Amino acid sequence: MKEAGDRRPVTEARDPAFTPAPGAPAIAAAATTNEDGQWTMPAKDFASSRYSGLTEITTDNVRNLKLAFTFSTSVLRGHEGAPLVVGSTMYVVTPFPNILYALDLENAGALKWKYEPKPEAAAQGVACCDVVNRGAAYGDGKIVFNTLDDHTIAVDTTGKLVWDTKLGDINLGETMTMAPLIAKGKVFVGNSGGEMGVRGWLTALDLGNGKIAWRAFSTGPDKEVLIGARFNPHYASDRGKDLGVTTWPGDAWKIGGGTVWGWISYDPALDLLYYGTGNPGPWNPHQRPGDNKWTSGIFARDPDDGEAVWFYQWNPHDVHDYDGINEQILLDVASNGGTRNVLVRPERNGYVYVLDRRTGEILSATPYGYITSSKGVDLESGRLVIADDKVPQIAKVVENICPAAPGMKDWQPSAYSPRTGFVYLPHQNLCMDWEALEANYIAGTPYVGANVKMYAGPGGNRGVMSAWDVANRREAWAIPERFPVWSGTLVTAGDVVFYGTMEGWFKAVHARTGQVLWQFKTGSGIIGQPITYRGPDGKQYVAILSGVGGWSGAVVAGNLDTRDSTIALGFANAMKDLPRHTTKGGMLYVFSL
Amino acid sequence: MSSRSEGRAPTLTRRAERAVLLLPLLALAAAGPGRRSDDRVAPGPVLRVCADPNNLPFSNARGEGFENKLATIVAGELGARVEYTWFAQRRGFIRNTLRAHACDVVMGVPASFELALPTRPYYRSTYAFLYREGSPFAVRSLDDPRLRRARIGVQMIGDDYANTPPAHALANRGIVANVRGFLVYGDYRDHDPQSPIVEAVARGDIDVAIAWGPTAGYYARRAPARVAVVPVSPQIDLPYLPFVFDISMGVRREDTALRDRLDEILERRRSSVDSLLAAYGVPRADRPST
């Protein structure tokens, strides 16, 4: 397998006034809660820390972790979800057909009930990248989740439907795969399908009755983006009237992408929601000159009325398919004798950004892997500096674009420990080549596309599990993995980090050193999100969904032919050997001492 | 509208199926994945076809497309009846249908297609300009300066950097601000998901559309105004962007015997096929156009 070439240095950008004090920054106090042993939202708390205060499992005893129970989901596609634990019940939502299971934790995970929304089968045909679901959320006696065919559904704790709201239409290429966030009596959800000409949005629903409270589009006129008097972005290029229209040619914004399929955080103290937008599509970059607002960026909004407060664009006029939808971790960092309220964002373009979450100002942007596609971030303008020779062009061979289209890190969420000050970063080490034109065929119509091939970056490993030191803005330790680390991570007060590999190993590592302390081979590759909870018996448990798939694992979950290197949008080339290492499956594994 | 290939077919079944195919070239109505147009297991040979249930003028579940009629012609030659597995012709279509053994033939693939074994091409068509007759935008060439000010519609595909040739060609010429995209998939709830780009010309919402020939020809005939269909010139835009494509039927890569049999039929029924395509208004690039 081909490897990427010489490393070229990409330097950090940092505001000189931002000088984090030594030690571990705190999780934003208002956005987290005291440990209650439950896990009621995929990110654990509004700050998206994925940090558990449970301490029974430690670096000393984790080697004794044993299987407590398992549960088969009966679904064989990619399991990207996080189980929830509310009281003595666990809730698991599967990939399409999006079955919600309730498991009795008093009784070794015995099935209490299941709710089957029966989404339209045609939704599979239009979903971009496997038919995943990233989890449910719990609030006020309801479990809320999205279906691939664009319904947001609330079910009560007995399995009875409370409400079901249809938010989009699969017949137009629109799907939903993200996990909702519940805050202030509202449910916040977004759509997927930017490649299909879908116009992205975030929608707020009333948690009580499912009625739509507001919808904020990611492209179009200010009144549809919910940009008004309160909007005060930090950088000049984000100021101006109707930029969601004027930074596009003609009416290209109407099918401009910017879908909202990733993570949402919430700061109750500032009363702001934070979430990212997907890349612009389906136009090729040379068809859409301009910044293509408000794609591939991050919004801060008022949760009550959706009004935008600030915006920052990671990738103005994205040319690399770098969706801007990753998680943002809300921290309070001691700096210069004061405290900065920040959000930490490991972005798909290869930088860990630290933004002032009050204003959207960049405090630092530091590379966390091998980057050739850009040369750094200009602090004056806030703009990413693109490497012109790595801009993909039709009919030209452009080699060694790093990171590849899935980015340095895709949707898979990281975790943060306030004990170590490290962000635990599951990510990729992939580069790509754009090659000659090739003829293809869809809906009866011949067309011409690029031949994209992805392959391992420097070192030859396609994945990395690393610890990122927030205060010192550098890698503390890293574990190379054969395949992209496509699972989420979890870190505990026992200083144990959990993650899974696409071969199916579920690993516990030392949060301070990265030493592997324990591992267990599950039945299929892992792309799910680990969680931990205190069971009804008072013991600490750790749970993970095994079941390979997603964009990276489509070669297994979708039975793709690995002889064709361009399928799965070029990702298959980098995953040719995955079928030798894992097979399909959908199984919950729960462990305890 | 999809068939599932999960949990399918131990190797033995597939081998047996292939053996059946190689002898009479037709599978008996063996159990297989997918939603069939006819769930009764009727005796006799069948031609197993995978097709989009809602993609006129090519195919639909009512049998109204020219690929439906072509399947009927071919099946007639084989003394068989057509059995359909319906699946939206999106990304993964060949993998989920032909390669999953849900059928043995798809009625349309480019002759250079690598995912299937193509028959000899049975037509060559071209992308075409569409404009209202009498319009000041009667363009024939991609280099016509009027394209810089015309409101132009193009078909969009959706994958990164994948586009129809006219979309690429216009962008290469810096013609972007006056271009409107129509997703080739359209609104799948409609009877005619691909028709809006032609209807927009007829209504005057746009001055010029550039669409794939069969779609252009079929909907131009049904448009509420007189719409001209003119092959795009040049046929190949430099450095290498083709506007004409040969279209074949496709079988699995290993099914050479079936491919040979289909080639014979296409040769024998050439005039019927030509008449069929003419009836659907398919612009032909493999002979002087009228």
Tell me which range, A451-455, A504-508, B22-26, B90-94, is most confidently predicted by mean pLDDT.
Answer: A504-508
Residues B64 and B165 in one domain: no
User: Closest approach of chain B CAs to the CA of A155, in angstroms?
Assistant: 27
Q: What is the pLDDT of residue A453?
A: 87
Whether residue A439 and residue B245 make contact (CB cut-off 8 A), yes or no, is yes
For B150-178, write each residue's pLDDT tens digit: 999 999 987 777 889 999 999 989 999 99
Whether residue A394 and residue B168 make contact (CB cut-off 8 A), yes or no, is yes
User: Closest approach of chain A CAs to the CA of B43, in angstroms?
Assistant: 29
Please give the tally of structural domains in chain A: 1
Chain A partners within 8 Å of B91 (Cβ): 442
Residue A475 maps to a domain:
yes
For B221-244, write each residue's pLDDT tens digit: 999 999 999 999 999 988 778 999
pLDDT exceeds 60 at position B218: yes
Query: Which pTM does this prediction carry?
Result: 0.91
Residues B16 and B100 in one domain: yes
Whether residue A395 and residue B240 make contact (CB cut-off 8 A), yes or no, is yes
Prior bond to B239 cis, omega within 30? yes
Q: Which residues 143-182 on chain A approach chain B with CB closer than 8 angstroms? A: 169-173
**Mean pLDDT value across chain B:** 85
Probe site for chain A from B64, B160, B192 (most A CB atoms < 10 A): B160
* Residue A106: active-site member: no
Q: Does B188 touch chain A (CB under 8 A)?
A: yes
Residues B239 and B218 in one domain: yes
User: Closest approach of chain A CAs to the CA of B188, in angstroms?
Assistant: 5
Residue A2 maps to a domain:
no
Q: Does B238 touch chain A (CB under 8 A)?
A: no
Residues B118 and B143 in one domain: no
User: Closest approach of chain B CAs to the CA of A77, in angstroms?
Assistant: 10
CATH number at residue A186: 2.140.10.10
Q: Tens place of pLDDT for every residue, chain A, 593 residues?
A: 344 444 456 889 999 999 999 999 999 999 999 999 999 999 999 999 999 999 999 999 999 999 999 999 999 999 999 999 999 999 999 999 999 999 999 999 999 999 999 988 766 665 555 689 999 999 999 999 999 999 999 999 999 999 999 999 888 889 999 999 999 999 999 999 888 889 999 999 999 999 999 999 999 999 999 999 999 999 999 999 999 999 999 999 999 999 999 999 999 999 999 999 999 988 888 889 999 999 999 999 999 999 999 999 999 999 999 999 999 999 999 999 999 999 999 999 999 999 999 999 999 999 999 999 999 999 999 999 999 999 887 777 899 999 999 999 999 999 999 999 999 999 999 999 987 667 788 889 988 877 788 999 999 999 999 999 999 999 999 999 999 999 999 999 999 999 999 999 999 999 999 999 999 999 999 999 999 999 999 999 999 999 998 888 877 777 766 655 556 777 888 888 888 899 999 999 999 99
Answer left, alpha or beta for residue A371, where phi above 0 means left and psi between -120 and 50 means alpha.
beta
For B167, the closest of A287, A392, A559 (CB atoms) is: A287
Three-state secondary-structure class, residue A430: strand
Active-site residue, selected from the candidate residues A321, A361, A433, A481: A321
DSSP states of chain B: -----TT---HHHHHHHHHHHHTTSS--S---SS-BS--S--SS-EEEEEE-TEETTTEETTS-SHHHHHHHHHHHHTT-EEEEEE---STTHHHHTTTTTS-SEEEEEETT-SSSEE-S-SEEEEEEEEEETT-S----BTT-GGGGTS-EEEEE--STT-B-HHHHHHHHTT--TTEEEEETT--TTSS-TTTHHHHHHHHTS-SEEEEEHHHHHHHHHHSSS-EEEEE-BSSEETTTEESEEEEEEEE-TT-HHHHHHHHHHHHHTHHHHHHHHHHTTPPPSSS---
Residue B63 maps to a domain:
yes
Residue A79 maps to a domain:
yes
Q: Does B121 touch chain A (CB under 8 A)?
A: no
Residue B17 maps to a domain:
yes
For A569, the closest of B2, B114, B160 (CB atoms) is: B160
User: Rounded to an integer, what is the distance from CA A431 to the centroid of its chain?
Assistant: 20
Residue A4 maps to a domain:
no
For B109, the closest of A250, A288, A441 (CB atoms) is: A441
Q: What is the pLDDT of residue A562?
A: 63
Q: Which residues 91-120 on chain A approach chain B with CB closer than 8 angstroms? A: none
Residue B206 maps to a domain:
yes
Domain range for B219 = 125-244
In angstroms, the CA B276 to CA B111 distance is 19
Probe site for chain A from B70, B159, B245 (most A CB atoms < 10 A): B159
Supply the DSSP symbol for A129.
Answer: B
Q: What is the pLDDT of residue B42?
A: 55
For B87, the closest of A125, A196, A444 (CB atoms) is: A125
Residue A3 maps to a domain:
no
Q: What is the pLDDT of residue A452?
A: 83
Q: Does B285 touch chain A (CB under 8 A)?
A: no
Residues B132 and B112 in one domain: no
Whether residue B89 and residue A287 make contact (CB cut-off 8 A), yes or no, is no
Active-site residue, selected from the candidate residues A146, A279, A315, A461: A279
Task: Name the strand (E) or helix (H) holding A532.
Answer: strand A531-534
pLDDT exceeds 70 at position B188: yes
Residue A382 maps to a domain:
yes
Q: Does B16 touch chain A (CB under 8 A)?
A: no
Q: Does A563 touch chain B (CB under 8 A)?
A: no
Residues B132 and B271 in one domain: no
Q: Could you tell me how many CB contacts below 8 A there are between chain A and chain B?
A: 177
Q: Does A290 touch chain B (CB under 8 A)?
A: no
* Residue A195: active-site member: yes
For the beta carbon of residue A18, count every other beta carbon within 10 angstroms.
18
pLDDT exceeds 80 at position B29: no
Residue A164 maps to a domain:
yes
Probe site for chain A from B161, B178, B249 (most A CB atoms < 10 A): B161
Q: Does A122 touch chain B (CB under 8 A)?
A: yes
User: Closest approach of chain A CAs to the CA of B141, in angstroms?
Assistant: 19
Q: Token match 């009363």: residue?
A: A271
List, in sequence order, every beta strand (DSSP E) within A53-160. Answer: 66-72, 84-86, 89-93, 100-104, 110-115, 137-139, 142-146, 151-156
Chain A partners within 8 Å of B178 (Cβ): 249-250
Please give the tally of structural domains in chain B: 2
* Residue A171: active-site member: no
Q: What is the pLDDT of residue B59?
A: 97
Name, in order, each residue with C-beta under 8 angstroms of B260's C-beta and a sequence gap of 6 or more. Answer: none
Q: What is the pLDDT of residue A128?
A: 55
Q: Any idea which of A2-6, A316-320, B42-46, B119-123 has the lowest mean pLDDT?
A: A2-6
For B158, the closest of A197, A405, A560 (CB atoms) is: A197
Helices (H), A361-520: none
Q: What is the pLDDT of residue A124?
A: 60
For A449, the closest of B1, B162, B179 (CB atoms) is: B162
Q: What is the pLDDT of residue B39?
A: 44
CATH number at residue B209: 3.40.190.10
Name, in order, each residue with C-beta under 8 angstroms of A206's C-beta and a sequence gap of 6 or more. Answer: A185, A186, A187, A212, A213
Residues B186 and B260 in one domain: no
For A443, the closest of B52, B100, B247 (CB atoms) is: B52
Q: Does A369 touch chain B (CB under 8 A)?
A: no
For A287, the closest of B88, B99, B179 (CB atoms) is: B179
Are A137 and A181 within 8 A, CB to CB? yes
Q: Which residues 395-414 on chain A approach chain B with CB closer than 8 angstroms? A: 395, 405
Prior bond to A282 cis, omega within 30? yes
Three-state secondary-structure class, residue A360: coil
Domain range for A186 = 13-592
Chain A partners within 8 Å of B242 (Cβ): 439, 448
Residue A256 maps to a domain:
yes
Are A151 and A117 within 8 A, CB to CB? yes
Residues B46 and B114 in one domain: yes
Whether residue A197 and residue B156 make contact (CB cut-off 8 A), yes or no, is yes
Q: What is the pLDDT of residue B96?
A: 85
Residues B143 and B215 in one domain: yes
Closest-CA residue of chain A to B108: A444
Residues B211 and B114 in one domain: no
Q: What is the pLDDT of residue B286?
A: 82
Residue A252 φ then ψ, to 5°: -60, -25
User: Closest approach of chain A CAs to the CA of B271, in angstroms?
Assistant: 22
Residues B116 and B249 in one domain: yes
Residue B5 maps to a domain:
no
**Higher per-residue confidence, B4 vs B140:** B140
Residues B133 and B264 in one domain: no
